[in-house]
Amino acid sequence: MTTSPNTRRFAAHLVMIGLSALAIFPVYWMVQTSFRPESEVFSTALWPATPTLENYRRVIEVMPIFGILWNTVLMAAATTAAQVVTGLLAAWALVRWRFPGGRLAHSLIALSWLVPFQVVMIPNYVLATRLGLLDTIAGLVVPNAAAAFAVLVLYNAMRGFPREVVEAARMDGAGSLRTLIEVVIPNLRAPIASVSILCFISAWNEYFWPLLLIRKIENSVVQIGLQFFMSQEGNDWGLLMAAATLASLPILLIYLVLQRQVVESFMKSGIR
């Protein structure tokens, strides 16, 4: 028995629709729970009987959620910018020049990727405190200003860049930095976009370092803010879901605007 291409396509779409529904359902549940009054939080109905914006009102009342979101955007953007810049410079140095210890430096950078952040967290904390960075956004960014992941991805991208073009730029009198900025970077937009997106998402999801460094809720970031509705004495699910919905909006916006690049980033770099 043979199946027609239409049937096969239909079956494939059916599977994909099913998988998409599975992926979207938790997000849907988060959003609809955020509209539930407290007495309906544990109901299994697909939509609240009496939808309310009370949870959003309470979140805004008890927590400076918009300030926290702004802090998170600022922290994630600054961390991303710093990681891309340091990544580009380090990768360029490793690719452009052959120097004694170059391979060792590359290996050490790669190895540092394997060191969990928890290992360096306390020394970082002591240093950040001494530098007066406690409870500041700068304190969240500085220890993460360089990332092995960014260096390695950009290093691999630059290695594939034609040497002839770099040589031509040099013969035209361009210095190393000018070659990087005017020749290499414009041609590496795709990998830079990938690294930026992944660095942004990783910074956005950062939990442990802000947990340690930030002392006041108004200076906090969104992942710590969410914890604000969870305690040993139970969780405020309605408020938590309202805050989580608000917290996921910026990331959702990035997906909507940069959908193609985001998917490519995950495909090229592996899902992190």
Binding segment for another protein (CB under 8 A), chosen from 2-10, 21-29, 114-122, 245-253, is 114-122
**What is the closest distance, in whole angstroms, from the C-beta atom of residue 199 to another protein in the complex?**
22
Residue 146 contacts by C-beta under 8 Å, 6 or more apart in sequence?
82, 83, 86, 87, 90
Q: What is the per-residue binding string for another protein in 201-240, x denoting contact by CB under 8 A? A: -------x--xx--x-x---------xxxxxxxxxxx-x-
Q: Which of residues 23-82 bind another protein (CB under 8 A)?
A: 38-39, 41-42, 62-63
- Is there a contact between 158 and 187 (Cβ–Cβ < 8 Å)? no
Cross-strand bridge partners of residue 230: 235
- Is there a contact between 238 and 41 (Cβ–Cβ < 8 Å)? yes
**What is the closest distance, in whole angstroms, from the C-beta atom of residue 190 to another protein in the complex?**
34
- Between CA 131 and CA 85 the distance in angstroms is 23
**Residue count at the site for another protein (CB under 8 A)?**
33
Q: 151 vs 239, which CB is nearer to another protein?
A: 239
When binding is defined by CB under 8 A, the residue of 21, 27, 111, 122 that contacts another protein is 122
When binding is defined by CB under 8 A, the residue of 126, 252, 257, 267 that contacts another protein is 126
Residue 231 contacts by C-beta under 8 Å, 6 or more apart in sequence?
none
Cross-strand bridge partners of residue 235: 230
Region for residue 240 given its phi and psi (left: phi exceeds 0; alpha: psi -120 to 50; beta: otherwise): alpha
Q: 84 vs 224, which CB is nearer to another protein?
A: 224
Cross-strand bridge partners of residue 231: 234
119 binds another protein per the rule CB under 8 A? yes
Q: What is the per-residue binding string for another protein in 238-267, x denoting contact by CB under 8 A? A: -x----------------------------
- Is there a contact between 106 and 94 (Cβ–Cβ < 8 Å)? yes
Q: Which of 244, 206, 178 is CA-nearest to residue 83?
A: 206
Binding site for another protein (CB under 8 A): 38-39, 41-42, 62-63, 116, 118-119, 121-122, 125-126, 129-130, 134, 208, 211-212, 215, 217, 227-237, 239
